[in-house]
Amino acid sequence: MAMEDNDIIQLFFDRDENAIKETSVKYGNYCSSIARNILKNWEDAEECVNDTYLKAWNVIPPNRPTMFKAFLGRITRNISFNLYKKMNADKRGSGQIPFILDELAECVSDGKDPYKELEKEEIIKAINSFLEKLPQEKRIMFVRRYWYSDSVVDIAKRCGVSENSVSVNLNRLRKRLHNYLYERGFEL
Amino acid sequence: MKKEELYEIIEGIDENYINEAEIVQLKRRQPAWMKWTAVAACLCLIVIGAIQFSVNRNDNTNVQQWSQSISAKDYFKNSHKANSQNVGSSASLVMPPYAVAVSINDKRSVLENAGVLPIMPSHLDHGFEVDYNGDGSLYKVTFLWMRRGEHGLDEYSDLQLIASPKELHEVNDVIAFSVDEDGNTLPEVVTVTERDGILIYARGKENEEKIIAWQTKYGWYQIVGSWNDSYEDMVELLDWFWEHPLSLSDFENIEEGKIVYSNRIDYPDAFCDQIPDFTALGYISEIETVNVGLCDGNLVPVWFEGIYTRGTVRISWTISIGADANAWKACLGRPNEITEEKLNDALSQSQSVNVFFDSPCMATLKIENGTSSDAWEIIQALQK
């Protein structure tokens, strides 16, 4: 029986190493699936999941995550994507990322200047507001594709629609996101 | 902004949306098991059996609800009523349903460590394989765990998990069905259990092969146990995969080099006796693709697709060395066995027909904006 999130977090606060074990039991598969969507290679993905536990160990305390699962998923996504960039993987062997990045390229201008942290915060707020206005089904499609890096096939199965429907919806959502951000002064 | 930056920014979206996308199940498709029907024969000599079992719709009226207290035996409580028998060999195996088989035997510890597979300490031997269609798409994944005792058959065990994106059918040379004391065929009797909104079908009894089958958003699954595997062994594995659903996306990408994607110019001899001379018939070739892959350990052409046009008529000619049940169902026979009447009849019901070759392989003729006369002309070209 998996432990409650609060109890696991308390183990982190108590500096009890069982925190890692319990996290792995409850959320190991969840983190692995995120890492594997990005990296595809099991060994690399597993390394990222282990790094996720280490990172969680280092930041809890002082942090006390309110949504532990999403908190771990976010760390996994971050570490996995950093490894992906480091490996500079080619299009054929690296999961969904090359395709997802190509899709996101439709929303940006490929400008050279990196965005500052403050500006990024503002963009996140705008994206959250964009997501809030979407019907649930479309929001789930967007988050599964661009946050979880799921394949179109997996999204179609999850949402009970055809792959074509997912592709068409994602295409429209990217355009809508681009326009939404542009109208709010973000020239990405 | 660069696309990588946007991908990184999306990382920061509201956690509620991240959770929502993980938890919410939008629609549940009606379990397609309910649509199962018995698979019939094709080409007189070839009998197709489903490795799953067909489920009579009426059986679903008696669905038991899963609870924590349900025993392993309960999953099979109706299944033992039928007296199942294997009845003779009636056909020879002519063709696998898939084109390329890739062993992943070396991945056992990696998959166990990643939490994809359970650790089975008493099953020292194993056979893991991923099978692909000729176009590179996934056909099925098989994990077989074996145990062989030192003293007789007491410890014998063959436990398998088979997972696939679509309902599976395989060409068998033996068909199992059930008979009563007078030798009359009985309908398949299965036990249906609803667990977390998913129907689980169980067939088999003690001292016989047992199967547990179910479908989730990830695909089709079945656990197969040998005559010596207990109900408890089967359900233990079911419980594990219930808690750790196997995602087929991990196996969708075929290992590089196992299928070589090429074109006909590089492999001019590929399927040369199975591709009609479209040029002689006045067609223009738009695309001619050949995939080369591993078949029985040899690198051979496993798939071909050609698109040909003549005026407004568009023909797709696809050949695969693997053929699933649907391919067999749409098969008209060998070229010399096809008559114009048979072809007309088939094309009145479908845009495509399948042709069998002894090599063996199966070709699919699909016609757009054409008549059955155009199709007959192509079949005749093969008959010459």
Q: DSSP secondary-structure letter at B34? A: G
**Which residues does A50 contact at the CB level (< 8 Å), separation at least 6?**
none
Give the model's pLDDT for residue A115. 65
Residue B3: which of A104, A123, A131 has the nearest Cβ? Answer: A104
Nearest CA in chain B to A2: B243
Judged by a CB distance cut-off of 8 A, whether residue B12 touches chain A is: yes
The alpha helices in chain B, defined as continuous H runs, are: 3-10, 15-23, 108-113, 231-243, 325-329, 340-349, 372-383
Q: How many angstroms separate the Cα of B117 from the Cα of each of A96, A154, B147, B215, B228?
A: 23, 20, 17, 18, 22
* ipTM confidence: 0.84
Q: Tell me: the pLDDT tens digits for A70-79?
A: 999 999 999 9
Categorize the per-residue pLDDT at A134 as very low, low, confident or very high, splitting at 50, 70 and 90: confident
| Residue of higher predicted confidence among B224 and A101 | B224
Judged by a CB distance cut-off of 8 A, whether residue A59 touches chain B is: no
Give the model's pLDDT for residue A87. 78
Residue A143: which of B1, B17, B253 has the nearest Cβ? Answer: B17
How far is A141 from A161, CA to CA, in rounded Å?
11
Amino acid at B241: F
Contact B32, B165 (CB under 8 A): no
Give the model's pLDDT for residue B326. 77
C-beta atoms of A153 and B247 within 8 A: no
Interface test with A, best of B249, B256, B258 (most A CBs within 10 A): B249
Judged by a CB distance cut-off of 8 A, whether residue B44 touches chain A is: no
Judged by a CB distance cut-off of 8 A, whether residue A154 touches chain B is: yes
Amino acid at B333: G
C-beta atoms of B218 and A85 within 8 A: no
C-beta atoms of B18 and A33 within 8 A: no
Residue A90 CB burial class (10 angstroms; 0-12, 13-18, ≥19): exposed
Contact B226, B157 (CB under 8 A): yes
| Residue of higher predicted confidence among A61 and A92 | A61
Interface test with B, best of A63, A115, A174 (most B CBs within 10 A): A115
Q: DSSP secondary-structure letter at B187? A: -
Contact A108, B5 (CB under 8 A): yes
The answer to whether residue A84 scores a pLDDT higher than 90 is no
Give the model's pLDDT for residue B222. 93
C-beta atoms of A124 and B9 within 8 A: yes
C-beta atoms of A110 and B3 within 8 A: yes
Closest CA to B221 of B143, B326, B323: B143
How far is B372 from B315, CA to CA, in rounded Å?
12
The answer to whether residue A92 scores a pLDDT higher than 60 is no
Give backbone dihedrals phi and psi of B163, rounded to 5 degrees, phi first.
-130, 145
Nearest CA in chain A to B4: A101
A146 interaction partners in chain B (CB closer than 8 Å)? 7, 10
B 200-229: CB under 8 A from A: 217-219
pLDDT of chain B, 384 residues: tens digit per residue: 778 888 989 999 998 899 888 877 654 433 333 333 222 333 333 333 333 444 443 444 578 888 888 999 999 888 765 444 443 333 334 577 888 989 999 999 999 998 999 999 989 899 999 999 888 889 999 999 998 876 666 788 999 999 998 877 654 434 445 555 666 665 667 888 999 889 999 988 888 888 999 988 778 999 999 888 999 999 999 999 999 989 888 888 888 778 888 888 888 899 999 999 999 999 998 888 899 988 777 788 999 999 999 999 999 999 998 887 778 878 899 999 999 999 999 998 888 899 999 888 899 999 988 999 999 999 999 997
Residue A137: which of B26, B115, B252 has the nearest Cβ? Answer: B26
Q: Which of A83-97, A161-175, B143-157, B312-326 has the highest mean pLDDT?
A: B312-326
Categorize the per-residue pLDDT at A131 as very low, low, confident or very high, splitting at 50, 70 and 90: very high
A81, containing H or E segment: helix A68-87
B 229-268: CB under 8 A from A: 244, 247, 249-250, 252-253, 256
Nearest CA in chain B to A49: B114
DSSP letters along B58-98, please? GGGGSEEEP-TT--TGGGGTTGGGS-EEEEEE-------S-
**Which residues does A177 contact at the CB level (< 8 Å), separation at least 6?**
A107, A127, A130
How far is B112 from A33, CA to CA, in rounded Å?
14
B 140-199: CB under 8 A from A: 165
Peptide bond connecting A61 to the previous residue in cis, omega within 30 degrees of 0: yes
Residue A144: which of B13, B21, B253 has the nearest Cβ? Answer: B21
Q: How many angstroms separate the Cα of B259 from the Cα of each of A140, B29, B131, B221, B351?
A: 34, 33, 12, 25, 29
C-beta atoms of B9 and A127 within 8 A: yes
Give the model's pLDDT for residue B257. 78
B2 interaction partners in chain A (CB closer than 8 Å)? 108, 110-111
Give the model's pLDDT for residue B249. 83
| Residue of higher predicted confidence among A153 and B44 | A153
Closest CA to A79 of A47, A112, A33, A121: A47
Closest CA to A117 of B12, B109, B278, B334: B12
How far is B310 from B321, CA to CA, in rounded Å?
27
C-beta atoms of A188 and B6 within 8 A: yes
The answer to whether residue A94 scores a pLDDT higher than 70 is no
pTM of the model: 0.56
What angle do the packed helices B15-23 and A136-146 form, to 10 degrees? 100
Residue A131: which of B7, B17, B249 has the nearest Cβ? Answer: B17
C-beta atoms of A107 and B6 within 8 A: yes
Q: How close is the nearest chain A Cα to the Cα of B292, in Å?
A: 18
User: Residue B279 has which token pair?
Assistant: 């040029």
C-beta atoms of B115 and A115 within 8 A: no
Q: What residues pair up with B101 in beta bridges, in sequence order?
A: B131
Closest CA to B353 of B361, B343, B340: B343
**Which residues does B269 contact at the CB level (< 8 Å), separation at least 6?**
none
Q: Tell me: the pLDDT tens digits for A33-59?
A: 899 888 877 888 899 999 999 999 999
